[in-house]
């Protein structure tokens, strides 16, 4: 039943149906609700809720099923929404996604139509539940499903498609072919008022295709004196087509279709009403500044999309051009990574990088090992993401010719650690009670480490952003990198005292601590495995603040600012028989590893 829809699928479906108010067609035409009911559903928007969720709740009171909803979406030719419900319906009905409702009668059970659940008296629908028996009339198939049969050459992985006038494209699970005439109509014959942007590769237009707002990238026509340039742009478009078809994710820009063989080659994307992250950070066209929670959410979404690309196959897919201009924002400010023209496959797991013949990308976002030695790896994307984090924290451009330090990386690194929030924080973001700016800068510095092996993989970056314990994760990762291993070789691998002494020496006030016994009784070190098990998590960071007696106070992590280390008072303290060690730096590591403070006793974690 509808009311049993899993949370994740329901949320994703509602997000799709809310876009362009598709729920109105579903509720009014397919579900047959009257105007008053639809107005009541639409009012959910003013309460900050989803109208689609309200509609499903209302329809669900009549004991409708997921299969019935699946069929209604088929009548609307809304295949994107059908894909969300696909795992929840019997596989024999999956053909509706690919072949349309006219085949529904062929897959009904032999004993006739599916029995309808008994209708509840609750609800205001003006008709009985939709019958699943298919109409006899022939239903016109959607153009994006009607573009002739595709024949695959398995040896060359080449798609042969007569609709594209024998155009070939290297792609898996190819998006639908769209006629050039349709795209011309969608943009009012390429009317300049629909122009979104222009570049050397071509132009991008806003259009309405299949009653859906889209962004259409139209490539320039080849000129006689620009053969090589045109060829490069076309190869990038084919590459983008290939990768966007093979990588479907909430944080990767959706490719709706393509058009080859007409006067211009075109790619059709999901339309992003909030433009690029760069636009929003610079408040272009009078847009409101992003709040700190919005910036943090955008950072997490972008990291989630990147780690998906890096882990989806046997070889990582490296974007190669991560920057704020290529991070697009939908109506909910959910980030989508776009522009895969420079994407390439990375090395197999046993190798650190691949060598490339040419360097492409945007200079302020690229690390030295790629610019100078042409070493290409996932750590290139990590570095670029670090610069984006600096942009989110500061609101500044990645490169500014009028700045003393033209590159944003150099500008950020020139500021003392204790002045980051005071000098760098973008004041347009409003109050930063959770100290998100400082956390973004801290993680950004980690991402732009000079040595590639000292940079984290994006999976770990996402983990850190989601859990907010930046300092602990960074310190542990740095220790692991020094030992050339992702995990301790055995349960009780020890972190030496000398490592603790060198950790995070960014404060002038060392915290005096005593190392407690390790699990095996050895006081010479601590178990990183045990540390990982007991590590506390919080949205942003862990503080230490002094009491009147000078003792460190360990506050609730969920409501704390970033780390501030204060020294314990030495007054009226009896001499200790144990050898103690001065450690300056991160309290999260101290608390997670079970270090005993002389004033607080054993620190434990829940």
For 286, residues 6+ apart whose C-beta sits below 8 A from its C-beta are: none
Q: Is 605 helix (H, G, I), strand (E, B) or coil?
A: coil
DSSP 569: P
Alpha-carbon Rg for the chain, nearest whole angstrom, is 28
**How many Cα atoms within 13 Å fall on the side-chain side of residue 156?**
8
Residue 217 corresponds to which tokens in the numbers above?
């990238």
H helices of 110-214, in order, are 180-186
How many C-beta neighbours within 10 Å does residue 231 have? Answer: 11
Angle at 416 between CA 413 and CA 417, to 5 degrees: 95
- Which string of DSSP letters, residue by residue, matches 29-47? IIS-B-HHHHHHHHGGGGG
What lies within 8 Å, CB to CB, of 81 at 6+ separation is: 13, 16, 17, 22, 73
């270090």: which residue's tokens? 595
Residue at token pair 């390439």:
344
Whole-number Å distance between alpha carbons of 142 and 100: 8
Give dist(CA 173, CA 298) in Å, integer. 29
Placement of tokens 């989508």 in the chain: 336
Taking the alpha carbons of 590, 595, 600, 606 in that order, is the dihedral positive or negative?
positive
> DSSP E strands: which ranges in 89-186?
151-153, 158-160
Structure tokens at 255: 């490719």
- d(CA 397, CA 518) in angstroms, rounded, equals 48
Buried b (16+ CB within 10 A) or exposed e, 581-605: eebbbbbbbbbbbbbbbbbeeebee
424 close to 453: Cβ distance less than 8 angstroms = no
What values do phi and psi take at 372, rounded to 5? -95, -45
Task: Determine which one of 18, 321, 330, 432 is catalytic.
Answer: 321
CB 376 within 8 A of CB 355: yes
Q: Buried (b) or exposed (e) across 527-553, using 16+ Cβ within 10 A?
A: bbebbeeebbbbbbbbbbebeeeebbe
288 is in an annotated binding site: no
For residues 153, 154, 158, 163, the Cα torsion angle rounded to the nearest 10 degrees is 50
What residues have CB less than 8 Å from 50, skipping those under 6 apart?
Answer: 14, 15, 18, 44
Q: How many helices (H) and strands (E) does the chain have?
A: 20, 21
User: Is 265 an active-site residue?
Assistant: no
| Catalytic positions | 321
Annotated binding site: 217
């Amino acid at each position: 039943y509808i009311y049993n829809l899993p949370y994740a699928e329901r949320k994703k479906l509602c997000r799709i149906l809310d876009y362009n108010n598709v729920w109105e067609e579903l509720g009014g035409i397919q579900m047959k609700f009257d105007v008053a009911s639809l107005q009541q559903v639409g009012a959910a928007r003013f309460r900050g809720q989803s109208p689609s969720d309200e509609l499903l709740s209302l329809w669900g009171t009549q004991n409708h099923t997921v299969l019935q909803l699946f069929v209604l979406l088929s009548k609307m030719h809304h295949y994107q929404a059908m894909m969300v419900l696909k795992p929840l319906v019997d596989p024999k009905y999956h053909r509706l996604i690919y072949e349309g409702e006219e085949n529904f009668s062929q897959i009904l059970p032999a004993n006739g139509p599916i029995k309808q659940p008994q209708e509840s008296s609750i609800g205001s629908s003006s008709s009985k539940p939709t019958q699943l028996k298919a109409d006899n009339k022939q239903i016109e198939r959607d153009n994006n499903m009607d573009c002739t049969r595709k024949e695959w050459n398995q040896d060359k992985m080449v798609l042969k498609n007569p609709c594209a006038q024998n155009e070939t494209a290297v792609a898996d699970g190819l998006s639908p072919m769209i006629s050039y005439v349709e795209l011309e109509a969608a943009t009012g014959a390429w009317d300049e008022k629909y122009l979104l942007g222009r570049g050397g590769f071509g132009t991008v237009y806003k259009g309405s295709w299949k009653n859906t707002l889209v962004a259409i990238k139209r490539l320039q026509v080849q000129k006689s004196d620009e053969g090589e340039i045109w060829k490069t742009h076309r190869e990038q478009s084919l590459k983008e087509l290939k990768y966007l078809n093979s990588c479907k994710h909430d944080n990767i820009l959706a490719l709706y279709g393509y058009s080859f063989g007409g006067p211009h080659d075109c790619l059709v994307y999901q339309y992003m009403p909030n433009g690029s992250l760069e636009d929003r950070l610079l408040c272009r066209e009078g847009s409101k500044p992003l709040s700190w929670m919005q910036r943090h959410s955008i950072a997490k979404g972008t990291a989630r999309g990147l780690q998906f690309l890096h882990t989806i196959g046997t070889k990582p897919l490296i974007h190669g051009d991560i920057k704020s201009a290529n991070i697009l924002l939908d109506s909910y400010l959910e980030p989508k990574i776009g522009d895969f023209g420079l994407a390439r496959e990375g090395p197999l797991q046993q190798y650190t990088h691949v060598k490339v013949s040419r360097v492409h990308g945007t200079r302020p976002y690229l690390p030295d090992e790629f610019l100078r030695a042409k070493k290409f790896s996932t750590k290139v994307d990590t570095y670029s993401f670090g610069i984006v984090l600096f942009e989110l924290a500061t609101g500044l451009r990645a490169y500014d010719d009028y700045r003393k330090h033209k590159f944003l990386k150099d500008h950020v690194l020139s500021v003392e650690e204790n002045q980051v929030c005071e000098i760098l924080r973008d004041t347009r973001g409003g109050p930063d009670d959770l100290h998100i700016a400082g956390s973004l800068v801290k993680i950004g510095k980690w991402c732009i480490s000079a040595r590639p092996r000292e940079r984290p993989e994006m999976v770990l970056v996402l983990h850190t952003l989601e859990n907010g314990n930046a300092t602990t994760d960074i310190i542990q990762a740095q220790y692991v990198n020094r030992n050339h291993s992702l995990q301790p070789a055995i349960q009780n691998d020890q972190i030496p005292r000398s490592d603790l002494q060198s950790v995070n020496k960014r404060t002038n006030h060392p915290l005096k601590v005593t190392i407690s016994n390790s699990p095996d009784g050895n006081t010479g070190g601590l178990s990183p495995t045990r540390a990982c098990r007991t590590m506390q998590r919080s949205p942003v960071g862990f503080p230490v603040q002094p009491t009147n007696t000078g003792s460190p106070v360990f506050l609730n992590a969920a409501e704390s600012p970033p780390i501030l280390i204060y020294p314990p008072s030495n007054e009226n303290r009896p001499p200790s028989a144990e050898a103690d060690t001065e450690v300056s730096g991160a309290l999260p590591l101290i608390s997670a590893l079970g270090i005993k403070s002389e004033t607080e006793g054993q620190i434990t974690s829940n």
